Chains A and B, each alone.
Chain A
Amino acid sequence: MTEKQRKVQAGNIARRYAAEKRFRLYGVAALTVTTAFLAVLLVDIVWRSLPAYLQYNAVMTVTVDASKIDPAKPAAGDFEGVVKAAWREQLPSVESRADRRLLNSLLSNAGGSELRRQVLADPSLIGKEVSVPVMLSDDADLYLKGVVTGVARATGDGPLQIRAEGENYFLSGRGIDPGAIVLAAGGAFKIAPEGSSAPAEVIAAPGPAAEVPAGQWQLLSFDTPETGRKIGDRQAVWLEMLRDKNVFERQVAWNFFLNGDSREAEQAGILGSIVGSLMVVFVTVALSLPVGVAAAIYLEEFAPKNRLTELIEVNINNLAAVPSIIFGLLGLAVFLSFFGMPRSVPLVGGLVIALMSLPTIIIASRAAVRAVPPSIREAALGIGASHQQAVFHHVLPLAMPGIMTGTILALASAIGETAPLLLIGMVAFIVDIPSGFLDSATVLPVQIYLWSDLPEKAFEARTAAAIVVLLVIMMVLNALAIYLRKRFERRW
């Protein structure tokens, strides 16, 4: 280099290294953004799912009334009635019919299911007192979890005067502002909009009391105004009073894992859809694995190089990139409409998903067969094996780990597939857990889709929890594939 050139080059060098650094930074930024997205996604979903795993139950001592539950026919007994009676006894101060209905609505309409289970298992309990957990409604449960509104309590400052005039109560004291909620003397009041001059609204009737000293009464306030929540002030106060009595216990929400779908969020579970998913996957594997491996072996080992095989190859590669919803159209037009197969059943779902995963499985299996070195084949042929014997006795067993890895990965994506199943009617509302391949069923991702559309807040947590379960299943499958790959990996 001439001296002049060297100078020019040296002058450029700082700029060039700055460009280098910038470029590198772009790459780091791209990876960071991608990772951040994944992290936000996972954290967001796990966070949203948290309320779904535990639920508040009212643990109460219930008298199993023989008049409501006939010892001869316990299965037909009115367990809900028994449980509701016990529930009302918890708050004897709630008296009016309308109030009782409101109070009852805090229990799930399947609140007696645990009692029912226990009594059916042991009929001798009839006539005795049993302590059982009773499921709350989804709204009550969310209220207790603090999802509906924040609630603050202030201990009353100074004495509180309660003046009873027949049915009406007048309260006065410090902090008794219009709309305030007061817990005192075993009862609860909401101060009228006019203030203490007008009679307060009675939420729970108090015991006899004229003056409550400082520190013995409480002011309650909610973050969200009553119009913005499903639990009204009255219900919220009752729940608070019962919470003070330690009626509620946080327990694992087994319902979520053991039930089928339900219109009531607290009873809705994923077992039905998981069973449906398993059935679909079973059909998929049973069809696509043998066919896929056979096709891969043919194309890789036996296919002559001609137009037909070339067509098949191009076809498989293109088919692998066809949008999944197109396979739904295929299933709808061919399986449902042309062959008249039933809608919403795992058999058809499995068929559609099998056709969809087939190209992926063929491509993965071909790669696995191709990775077996020709020397193995030649060794077998050399001792007089036929081509098929060489393939089926030697090449295929060696390719099997690779084939299994590819198949598991294909299945992992098949389990998350939703769109084609929507079109063949697997979106029905199905409460029962499917018991056969021709039963109506839904699958986990479709269940997620269905729940995500529902307005109830409690379903949002259930949806997120179902997603967590789906992701865990997929991660387990992927880990299995990685394990297989590592365990049987061979370097030739």
Chain B
Amino acid sequence: MNTIFFVLLCLLVLATFMLGRQRAVSMRNGSALLHSLPNYHGMLLGISALLVGLFVFVALAAPFPVIAPWAALAAAAAAAYAFFTRIGPDFRARNVFERITLAILLACSGIAILTTIGIILSVLFETGRFFAEVSPLEFFTGFQWSPTGSPPVFGFIPLLAGTLLITFIAMCVAGPLGLLAAIYMAEYATPTVRAIFKPVLEMLTGIPTVVLGFFAALTVAPFLRTSGQFLGLQVSAESALAAGIVIGMLLIPVISSLSDDVINAVPQSMRDGSYAMGATKSETIKRVILPAALPGIVSAFILAISRALGETMIVVMAAGLAANLTANPLESVTTMTVQIAMLLVGDHEFDSAKTLAAFALGFVLFIFTLGLNFVALRLVQKYKEQYD
């Protein structure tokens, strides 16, 4: 039924376009001086039919599924007819049409806001239901997390600790490597070297996280385990270290490309000033360029942290499920994203606290990352303004 409706609507739109155009053309041939080109008359008819038809259909589809298509087609035809009667030398079809297009363009940009509102509302609503069952105090101060136990216990602290531990490990890997790579690429690399390493960094950005997760679980973790045994250390098969290192590798290009940008944005006159004083390249970098680019670099690090907090697949595949509260990177920890995924994969009804807990975690994660992103973007904007 719906398919037939859409086909009919399309035909109707096409027909109204032809009709409007035809009428305008014949008027022009009758030597009337039209304000707008015939095409605009046609397009105005077509788009009004399309929009009215879709609107009526969507509005009526739920309450009156049977008559909705027919009502929509009738309304569409009526809308087109209303404009059809107005076709004439003085009718400014183009202006009306352009106003409609502008409204459509605006609506499209509004979708971004709608998405955010959708995220906030959906997450907030379910989180509210969760906190009706579990007290927020218990959630935010609890030291035990076992959602599948009986009774289930929802203590958020071990998840937060696990998330932070893995993020910390990742930043220990990505921070120095990413920043040094960016500095080298921006200040030292010859065009040939750049041409070799830029694709490497870009490829690393493009590798899907599920691939990195596979690598972390099947190669890095066993490698760490074996090396640990060799050194006499007990390394868990799902150690925080393995997941952290691989997330770190994922973050290297994030940090390096953003830092590369901000380092390049430092004006050449700063470098000239320093070289003219007899500074070496590394002195110029360490004492002039990095301090100047600091806000931008900080924002690159913040964005990387936010990325690490929200990273899901690598930790789902390589980190553990057990919520241990530990700072030992060789042990297994779990993260917020792992728990969200685990609680929501498979069949679930929206009434259990288990499912709702995932939304509460999502809410916390969203607030964290949103805050970090906001700060980072403001910093980088301020920085850019400084040198524009």
Residues of A within 8 A of B (CB): 16-17, 19-20, 22-24, 26-31, 33-35, 37-38, 40-41, 44-45, 48, 290-292, 294-295, 297-299, 302-303, 309, 311-312, 314-319, 321-330, 332-334, 337-338, 355, 358-359, 362, 386, 388, 412-413, 415-419, 422-423, 427, 445-446, 448-449, 452, 460, 463-464, 467, 470-471, 474-475, 478
Check A16–B106 contact: CB distance below 8 A: no
Nearest-neighbour CB distance to chain B for A4, whole angstroms, equals 17
Question: Given that A20-B281, A26-B180, A325-B341 are known contacts, is A291 also in contact with B211, CB under 8 Å in the complex?
Answer: no
Check B108–A329 contact: CB distance below 8 A: no
Question: Given that A30-B176, A312-B113, A452-B214 are known contacts, is A333 also in contact with B281, CB under 8 Å in the complex?
Answer: no
24 pairs of residues in contact across A and B, judged by CB atoms under 8 Å = A19-B280, A24-B188, A30-B178, A41-B211, A44-B219, A45-B211, A291-B108, A294-B109, A298-B108, A298-B109, A318-B116, A323-B365, A323-B366, A324-B312, A326-B369, A332-B122, A333-B122, A418-B312, A419-B209, A419-B313, A445-B211, A449-B213, A471-B207, A478-B202
Q: Which residue of the partner chain, among B122, B180, B217, B281, contacts A330 with CB atoms under 8 Å?
A: B122
Dominant SS at the A interface? helix
A334 to B115, CA, bound (A): 10
When each residue 367-378 of chain B gets 1 if its CB lies under 8 Å from chain A and 0 otherwise, what string results?
A: 001100110110
Q: Which residue of the partner chain, among B102, B218, B286, B310, contacts A325 with CB atoms under 8 Å?
A: B310
Does residue B110 face the partner (Cβ distance < 8 Å to A)? Answer: yes
Task: Report the nearest B residue to A420, measured CB to CB.
Answer: B312
Nearest-neighbour CB distance to chain A for B352, whole angstroms, equals 13
Check A333–B341 contact: CB distance below 8 A: no
Nearest-neighbour CB distance to chain A for B258, whole angstroms, equals 11
Task: Report the nearest A residue to B204, measured CB to CB.
Answer: A38
When each residue 340-360 of chain B gets 1 if its CB lies under 8 Å from chain A and 0 otherwise, what string results?
A: 110011100010000000110
Check A334–B122 contact: CB distance below 8 A: yes
**6 closest A-B pairs by CB:** A323-B310, A416-B208, A27-B184, A333-B122, A30-B180, A298-B105
Question: Given that A44-B215, A294-B105, A323-B309 are known contacts, is A329 also in contact with B362, CB under 8 Å in the complex?
Answer: yes
Q: Which residue of the partner chain, among A41, A358, A413, A478, contacts B111 with CB atoms under 8 Å?
A: A358
Check A34–B206 contact: CB distance below 8 A: no
Extra contacts, 12 of them, besides A295-B112, A325-B362 (Cβ < 8 A), are: A27-B188, A44-B215, A291-B111, A315-B113, A322-B310, A388-B98, A419-B341, A448-B210, A449-B317, A464-B214, A474-B207, A478-B206
Q: Which residue of the partner chain, among B188, B215, B344, contacts A45 with CB atoms under 8 Å?
A: B215
A34 to B350, CA, bound (A): 44
Residues of B within 8 A of A (CB): 94, 98, 101-102, 104-106, 108-113, 115-116, 118-119, 122-123, 125-126, 176-181, 183-185, 188, 197, 200-204, 206-215, 217-219, 249, 252, 280-283, 285-286, 303, 306-307, 309-313, 316-317, 337, 340-341, 344-346, 350, 358-359, 362, 365-366, 369-370, 373-374, 376-377
Q: Which residue of the partner chain, among B282, B285, B369, contacts A323 with CB atoms under 8 Å?
A: B369
Residues of B within 8 A of A321 (CB): 303, 306-307, 369, 373, 376-377
Residues of A within 8 A of B110 (CB): 312
A37, A40, A412: which has the most chain B beta carbons within 10 Å? A37
Check B108–A302 contact: CB distance below 8 A: no
Residues of B within 8 A of A314 (CB): 374, 377
Question: Given that A318-B374, A418-B313 are known contacts, is A299 also in contact with B345, CB under 8 Å in the complex?
Answer: no
A29 to B176, CA, bound (A): 11
Nearest-neighbour CB distance to chain A for B96, whole angstroms, equals 12
Residues of B within 8 A of A298 (CB): 102, 105-106, 108-109
A446 to B177, CA, bound (A): 30
Residues of B within 8 A of A423 (CB): 340-341, 344-345
Q: Which residue of the partner chain, among B113, B119, B183, B337, contacts A322 with CB atoms under 8 Å?
A: B119
Check B112–A319 contact: CB distance below 8 A: yes
A135 to B87, CA, bound (A): 72
A108 to B230, CA, bound (A): 41
Task: Report the nearest A residue to B380, measured CB to CB.
Answer: A317
Q: Which residue of the partner chain, among B102, B108, B313, B350, contacts A388 with CB atoms under 8 Å?
A: B102
Check A294–B309 contact: CB distance below 8 A: no
Q: Which residue of the partner chain, among B94, B126, B373, contacts A333 with CB atoms under 8 Å?
A: B126
B126, B208, B285: which has the most chain A beta carbons within 10 Å? B208
Residues of A within 8 A of B252 (CB): 34
Residues of A within 8 A of B345 (CB): 422-423, 427
Task: Report the nearest B residue to A26, measured CB to CB.
Answer: B180
A265 to B301, CA, bound (A): 43
Q: Which residue of the partner chain, among B106, B181, B313, contacts A30 with CB atoms under 8 Å?
A: B181
Residues of B within 8 A of A20 (CB): 280-283
Q: Which residue of the partner chain, among B106, B123, B177, B208, contacts A329 with CB atoms under 8 Å?
A: B123
Question: Given that A20-B282, A362-B112 are known contacts, is A33 also in contact with B197, CB under 8 Å in the complex?
Answer: no
Task: Report the nearest B residue to A449, measured CB to CB.
Answer: B210
A413 to B303, CA, bound (A): 18
B178, B217, B218, B374: which has the most chain A beta carbons within 10 Å? B218
Nearest-neighbour CB distance to chain B for A381, whole angstroms, equals 14
Check B109–A299 contact: CB distance below 8 A: yes
Check A467–B200 contact: CB distance below 8 A: no
Question: Given that A30-B176, A298-B105, A333-B359 are known contacts, is A325 also in contact with B118, CB under 8 Å in the complex?
Answer: no
Check B112–A358 contact: CB distance below 8 A: yes
Check B281–A319 contact: CB distance below 8 A: no
Question: Given that A38-B200, A330-B122 are known contacts, is A312 also in contact with B311, CB under 8 Å in the complex?
Answer: no
Check B341–A17 contact: CB distance below 8 A: no
Check A417–B282 contact: CB distance below 8 A: no
A257 to B350, CA, bound (A): 38
Residues of A within 8 A of B365 (CB): 323, 325-326
A27 to B182, CA, bound (A): 8
Residues of B within 8 A of A448 (CB): 210-211, 214
Question: Given that A23-B285, A448-B211 are known contacts, is A337 also in contact with B350, CB under 8 Å in the complex?
Answer: yes
